[in-house]
Amino acid sequence: MANGPIGFIGLGIMGKPMTRNLLKAGHKLVVYDIVPQAVDEIMSEGAEGARTSKEVAEQCELVITMVPNGPHVKTAVFGENGVAEGIKPGSLVIDMSSIDPGVSREVGAGLKEKGVRFLDAPVSGGEPKAIDGTLAIMVGGDQKDFDEAKPIFDAMGGAVLCGAIGAGQVTKLANQIIVAANIAALAEALTLAMKSGVDPELVFEAIKGGLAGSTVMNAKSPMMMDSNYQPGFRISLHIKDLANALSAGQNTSTPLPLTAFCQEIFNAVKADGKQELDHSAMVLFYEKLANIEVKRKAN
């Protein structure tokens, strides 16, 4: 399997740079996406193209899926002309989408019936880290399968095996809860600073090295202060992830009040038609309530 081509299904905002890093690392790729132009673009950079997920699986003993949500994964794997129709027993499917852990377990069980191995391996870091090849990759599955996939993960970021199938998705949901709550707290704090007549940039500079400092703060504070909501990770996708977290919470009788509140803030921004902006646009909710714009003070 090490020398064979890798199949990659899903060439969106994350999938495209991930395939580029695999190509850079010297891997041969066979790619497919429902958008033909995306396939053409990656083919022009050295990948082989396919017309269906089945065609990818027929040529590859390791297939990666990177699609928006659980239903898309099930379609890509078990739908008409899906991976399951073309893949050989003993092959390995790695789903790097962010989906409900229950769906990962369902997909893993369905593939096991066909003698196919499965890892769920969602990622965190958004488009910038997908481009840099520094994604955090959270994996669920068997140690042996993880070890086999590790060189492939290494081309895209750093991977940690978190437990059995579904554990990667649970870890990603935990990540998304923490990120959403961080962005909400940051937006609330910078709005207070602005409303109090204190330069939010100076607040950021003063506290970023202390206990409140975080990767989220470093990445999202400048975006909020510049009203730059070019998406690295869209609100619509964060809404999807928090919906999956709330579903997992219901399934395990886990109360998630902060998650629910962050979801409602995102929904309020979505109601204003801003769901395709970066999730740092959560600050728009606070700006609207406070009737003020968070921005750097003019020198």
> Would you name the residues annotated as active-site residues?
172
Residue 104 makes CB contacts below 8 A (sequence gap 6+) with: 95, 118, 120, 140, 165, 166, 168, 169
At residue 191, the 3 state secondary structure works out as helix
* End-to-end Cα, the chain, rounded Å: 59
**Contact indicator for 138, 168 with CB cutoff of 8 Å:** yes
What are the structure tokens assigned to 119, written together? 């890892």
Give the CA dihedral 105, 109, 114, 120, nearest 10 degrees: 20
Closest listed residue to residue 42, CA positions, set 63, 28, 54, 61: 28
98: closest CA among 234, 257, 201, 276? 234
Residue type for position 269: V
Q: What span, in angstroms and rounded, lies between the C-alpha atoms of 107 and 88?
A: 16
Gap between the Cα atoms of 32 and 53, Å rounded = 6
